[in-house]
């Protein structure tokens, strides 16, 4: 069976998601990206029949994903995309019972999400130096990421009128255009005030207009630039490779829960639709809890 048929089936599947399932463009694009990796792999290994794959074929594909150094959550997402694709093929009577369902996706939270210790966060927040070109902006970005747990896309999309520095909170627009209110700590408020009063004036951006974080030319920052900023200061602080803006989101939630914060409050601040998602963070301190139990319980 030709790979042209596989390409055609994936295209038809994406069209089905859009027209019949009514999924958003971003969701369809995400499925498309994950399936494109499967198509590329199938071409390289010369998969002879994508409609009736053997279990050994799918195991090889999982091994390939791991060889690509994908994290467990990413591998799981690829498996979900593949399952959805084969369910569509069954719905269209293009294939019968598939071995895809025999694959158990990797346990998303078997591996503890990458979380920085409070000491490591402190090193990162202090990494920008006064002689750095965008010192005040970058310090404000790092403080805000950790203070709020906001996603990278939410931070770069933040506008000045979403800030209320006097009351120490911001209005964040998250997934599905849902708005939530997130508190700001004193350090984040101070860093943002310094940035607004000095750096934005220097690039001749109106003080109360447009995006909060901008480049030297006054253009809004993108997610890639934000990622590079975090990576730059992580390297300077000597932190592990792979730390990203999302690592600070993980750290924000974990540190709050470890300090005794209410799970529902953390859910609201993160903008999770389901508390089940937030509960994942309660597993992060599992080892610490075991140590406490052994130390203090009479039969620990």
Catalytic residue (choose from 60, 246, 280, 283): 246
Phi-psi region of 26 (alpha: psi -120 to 50; beta: other; left: phi over 0): alpha
Q: What does the alpha-carbon distance between residue 127 and residue 150 come to, in Å, rounded to a whole number?
A: 20
What is the distance, to the nearest Å, from the Cα of residue 123 to the centroid of all Cα atoms in its chain? 22
Instruction: Report which of 151, 82, 83, 71 is spatially closest to residue 108, judged by C-alpha positions.
Output: 71
**Catalytic annotation on 50?**
no
**Catalytic annotation on 44?**
no
Catalytic residue (choose from 151, 200, 250, 255): 151
How is 132-188 classified by DSSP, letter by letter?
A: STTHHHHHHHHHHHHHH---HHHHHT-BGGGEETTTTEEEEE-GGG-EEEEE--HHH
Catalytic residue (choose from 14, 78, 137, 249): 249
Catalytic residue (choose from 111, 175, 216, 288): 175
How big is the chain by its Cα radius of gyration, in Å?
A: 23
* Contact indicator for 88, 14 with CB cutoff of 8 Å: no
Q: What does the alpha-carbon distance between residue 150 and residue 141 come to, in Å, rounded to a whole number?
A: 11
Report the largest interatomic distance among the alpha carbons of the chain, rounded to a whole angstrom. Answer: 66
**Catalytic annotation on 14?**
no
Catalytic residue (choose from 50, 77, 250, 272): 272
**Catalytic annotation on 295?**
no
**Catalytic annotation on 7?**
no
**Catalytic annotation on 246?**
yes
* Contact indicator for 218, 208 with CB cutoff of 8 Å: no
Beta bridge partners of 164: 169
Catalytic residues: 151, 175, 246, 249, 272, 281
């Amino acid at each position: 069976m030709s790979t042209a048929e596989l390409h055609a089936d994936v295209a038809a599947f994406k069209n089905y998601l859009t027209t019949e399932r009514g999924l958003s463009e971003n969701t369809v694009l995400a499925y498309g990206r994950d399936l494109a990796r499967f198509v590329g792999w199938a071409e390289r290994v010369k998969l002879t029949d994508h409609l009736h794959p053997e279990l050994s074929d799918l195991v090889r594909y999982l091994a390939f994903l791991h060889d690509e150094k994908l994290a467990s959550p990413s591998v799981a997402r690829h498996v979900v995309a593949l399952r959805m694709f084969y369910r569509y093929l069954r719905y269209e009577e293009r294939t019968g019972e598939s071995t895809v369902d025999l694959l158990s996706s990797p346990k998303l939270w078997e591996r503890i999400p990458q979380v920085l210790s409070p000491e490591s966060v402190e090193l990162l927040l202090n990494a920008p130096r006064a002689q750095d070109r965008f010192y005040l902006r970058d310090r404000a970005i790092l403080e805000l990421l950790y203070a709020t747990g906001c996603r990278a896309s939410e931070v770069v999309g933040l506008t000045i009128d979403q800030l209320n520095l006097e009351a120490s909170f911001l209005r964040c627009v998250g997934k599905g255009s849902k708005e939530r209110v997130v508190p700001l700590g004193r350090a984040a408020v101070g860093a943002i005030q310094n940035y607004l009063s000095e750096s934005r004036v220097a690039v001749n951006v109106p003080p109360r207009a447009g995006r909060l974080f901008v480049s030297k030319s006054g253009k809004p920052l993108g997610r890639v630039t934000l990622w590079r900023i975090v990576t730059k200061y992580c390297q300077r602080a000597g932190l592990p490779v792979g730390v990203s803006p999302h690592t600070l989101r993980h750290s924000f939630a974990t540190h709050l829960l470890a300090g005794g914060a209410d799970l529902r409050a953390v859910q609201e601040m993160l903008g999770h639709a389901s508390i089940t998602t937030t509960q994942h963070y309660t597993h992060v301190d599992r080892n610490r809890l075991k140590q406490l139990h052994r130390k203090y319980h009479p039969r620990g």
